[in-house]
Structure 1
Amino acid sequence: MSHPIRIGVQLQPQHADYAQIRAAVAEAENAGVDIVFNWDHFFPLRGEPDGKHFECWTMLGAWAEATSRVEIGALVSCNSYRNPELLADMARTVDHISGGRLILGIGAGWFQRDYDEYGYDFATAGARLADLAQALPRIRDRWSKLNPAPTRDIPVLIGGGGERKTLRYTAEHATIWHSFGDVGTFTRKSEILDRHCADVGRDPGEIERSIGVSAPPQDVAEGLVAAGASLFTVGVGGPDYDLGLVKEWIAWRDAQG
């Protein structure tokens, strides 16, 4: 299965007033991005650790009303912070508000400060991954019971590169796999994902391959496309939300024809 080249931007909800974030969403949509992501944390990940920060899913509901074309989602939502049935209902609701433009990005969680200050059990990486494995089928089961049902088969994006578990869960449940790293790392993990797909009897071509990029397309795009990537996402932080690199990637996408 061939996937079209798509460009995403992750607008990191840190160190900015909401008006600045909202303006960046509008600029990104007008510039031609395909997907606008935020992230699911409670504190900044870079810069002043107690700087300005906003919550993920409340923001996605606002973005669903504020946009008309782009897909939206978290890169990624932390499974630990919400009961799977509740998260499924939240996603279904934003799906309806947006007219069918939500991507459910999800991962096992890793930022210990979020857990400690908000009263979640950080436990171990293995326990968090086990919780994710349990949550994924529960989310789909809840979608099948909701009234009204989701407007579409909501795409599930799983972020991470754990070779034994995360990539296995991706093969079993995901529509999109999101990765980080250079082309060599991406290639190796993508091949491991293909093997997991074979093990579970799934066509690996069904899974869109996504990667975070921080360099211009002329430096990295050719190798990543050859390795199977088709969704390229640039992370942009506040308060200024400079979309210059994002626009370079949009121009490169458009030049592909």
Structure 2
Amino acid sequence: MTSMNAVRNAALAVGALIGLIGAAATPSVAQTIDKAKQAGVIRIGVMGEQAPWGSFDSSGQNIGYDVDVAKLIGEELGVKVEFVPNVVSARIPNLLTGKVDLQMAVMGMYPDRAKAVQFSKPYAGLKIILLASKKLKIEKIEDARNLRIGVPRGAAQDKAITTALGDIPNIRRFDDDSSNMQALVSGQVDAIGGNTTYKINLDKAAPGNDFEQKVVFNEQWMGICSVLGDEKTNAWLNSFVDKIVADGRLEAINKKWLNASAPEFPKTLEGVPFTVKK
């Protein structure tokens, strides 16, 4: 892709996002919690192919960390949860166009996203990393400049690697996490941007592999996303997060899916408000 095409595509994407934000701010999509209670169902976005966060079991049922937290939301509201599988690039558009009521598909809390959606307090965390074979000596991201690097298009690792190296031709973008990991296993790429749970999936896909964590870009915190301006829903979600932290249910989910205790969540994140701005 030429630099001119990249600029044009970026401009179109920004324009589309601004339009979606404007649509999401209308009264017709406000008060998600009230609408869910009236309908008896809440539609929650989760990943479809990114274990342990969101995937399917052998019977086709949604399973994962985010799925278990979403089920608790349904229990607390007294409504049925309808899970909507997402790919990375569709997460924010699906929320802003009303295809989901809440978005929980591993939504990293970053300032640019906070301009489009409202985050709750964080309920999960992971590290954004670069993975490659043990045979490759990569001590800093610049060491991978000449390697073929796979990333899920538009994900946090895409941004981190592009920021560090520039939009170089050997960054290969895939539509989802599973395609990104498969590219590494099959040798289409030499390294991939991922997160600390990728290794779990790589070990399942390719037992005995020699892939390892090379570079840590940043610690990512995840929040539950609602549309901008829906103060009641945001306040309910923050109270919900506080409750499942305090009563140990979130701790149990962490141990179940990540084999670790829940981290100490940050009280603030620069550029990412946890409450609706008045």
Question: Structure 2 length normalisation: TM-score?
Answer: 0.24
Question: Structure 1 length normalisation: TM-score?
Answer: 0.26
Q: More strand per residue: 1 or 2?
A: 2
Greater C-alpha Rg:
2
